[in-house]
Amino acid sequence: MSVTAINKSGEEGHHLDTSAPCNCIPFIIKTEAVKAPSIQLNKNAAGFVKDYIKKNGYFLGKTKDRTAFYFSIMDSVFQQHGLPQELKYLSFVESGLKYNVISRAGAIGPWALMPVAAKQYGLKIGRNDERLDYYKSTHAAAKLLNDLFVQYGDWLLVVAAYNCGPGGIQKAMKRSGSRNYWALQSFLPEETRKHVKKFIAVHYYFERGGSLVTMTKAEREKYLKAMEAFAAKQQEATEANSLSIVVVK
């Protein structure tokens, strides 16, 4: 089970996966973790995610053995860059993790990198194209994803920008008057809207739940505040229990 190390936007100290909500919850009462706030799937994506998994579940299941090795490479690279490991599912949406996929626009490799982006992030293109290398292309994708997060501070906007480019996001923000993905999505290309929902759906299939990368910035901040409040109450309960033990002795 992958662990998301959140070190972006002042969220240091929060480590989440689908088996343990956060390391800020005292270890001795992790059995209470089931009562912790859960990550909710946005209603704008719920129907799509349900239908996508129902339709593609068998195919996704058949790919697990093949994808495990490549996902482990991506986990390692994202950890080096301090990025959420769950971003690896974007590669699955981009290419199905097939290294030799070539789009009509000229994007190549497991991360479907365009020539300009590949060069910008240090890859050689053409003969012996490094976009086809899982390790090197993931490093390039990690740098690109990091730069997009610095720009937007919102993982869903990052996923959208990876598909349609920052220019498309800026236009949608201007036309909608919002920086919230779900508020501006109608101003994005249909392909991009589906791309984001596919990312969420694939994430939910492999992780059996969501994470901070399947939420908007506002949803993420609200969730983390709820987690911190829950952790504080758990800490108070732990201290009260310790005190009662001392008194009994």
CATH of the domain at 146: 1.10.530.10
Please state, rounded to an integer, the average pLDDT across all residues of the chain: 86
Is residue 188, in this structure, part of any structural domain at all? yes
What pLDDT score was predicted for residue 77? 98
CA distances from 97 to 48, 108, 113, 166, 197 (A): 22, 11, 13, 24, 18
- Domain that includes residue 172, residue range: 85-224
Residue pLDDT, tens place only, 195-227: 999 999 999 999 999 999 999 999 999 999 998
In this predicted structure, which of 111-120, 192-201, 220-229, 237-246 has the lowest mean pLDDT? 237-246
- Hey, what are 196's tokens? 């984001």
* Secondary structure (3-state) at 9: coil
Q: With 0-12 CB in 10 A as exposed, 13-18 as middle and 19+ as buried, what is 243?
A: exposed
Is residue 238, in this structure, part of any structural domain at all? no
pTM for this model (two decimals)? 0.86
Is residue 127, in this structure, part of any structural domain at all? yes
Percent of the chain whose predicted confidence (pLDDT) is above 70: 83
The active-site residue, picked from 12, 86, 94, 228, is 94
Is residue 14, in this structure, part of any structural domain at all? no
Is residue 75, in this structure, part of any structural domain at all? no
- Closest alpha carbon to 88 in 193, 213, 223, 219: 213
Let me know if 32 is a catalytic residue. no
| Mean pLDDT along residues 108-136 | 95
pLDDT band at 19 (very low <50, low <70, confident <90, very high): very low
Which carries the bigger pLDDT value, residue 32 or residue 237? 237
Provide the domain count of the chain. Answer: 1
Instruction: Output the 3-class SS for 170-231.
Output: HHHHHHHCCCCHHHHHHHCCHHHHHHHHHHHHHHHHHHCCCCHHHCCHHHHHHHHHHHHHHH
Is residue 186, in this structure, part of any structural domain at all? yes
Is residue 248, in this structure, part of any structural domain at all? no
Is residue 246, in this structure, part of any structural domain at all? no
Report which residue type is found at 10: G
209: left (phi over 0), alpha (psi -120 to 50) or beta: left
